[in-house]
Amino acid sequence: MSKSEDMMRNGDSHRDAIKERMGIEIANCSTCESLGSDGDGYEYNGTWPVCNIHSQLSNLKSFPFKKEMKCWSPNFWHSKFAEMLKNGTDDEMAAASNAFRAALDG
């Protein structure tokens, strides 16, 4: 079972605990690891946001959503652990990645 499925099953309190451990205020599309982009490149039609979990959501006019989402899974780069990277060394990345995983696992 993925972390996203686990959070959907365990509900709001589990998601709130992960948000707090990650330093993320809102569990929405912009802070979700499933947010991606698609398109033909800027020389044609540009790119647009897509959901890599629920692709049908990408077709909705209001996507990416700014409200709390039950299918949310935290993105490392939007967590407080990304701030641990000062020089981009392998040791820094390993420490930040390990801290992120530990916070995700609880």
Domain total in the chain: 1
Is a pLDDT exceeding 90 seen at residue 18? yes
- 67: burial class by Cβ within 10 Å (0-12, 13-18, 19+)? exposed
Tell me the pTM: 0.77
25-71 confidence digits (pLDDT tens): 999 999 999 999 998 777 777 888 999 999 999 889 899 999 999 99
Is a pLDDT exceeding 80 seen at residue 1? no
What's the domain range around 53?
A: 3-105
**pLDDT reported for residue 43:** 74
The stretch 10-32 carries a mean pLDDT of 91
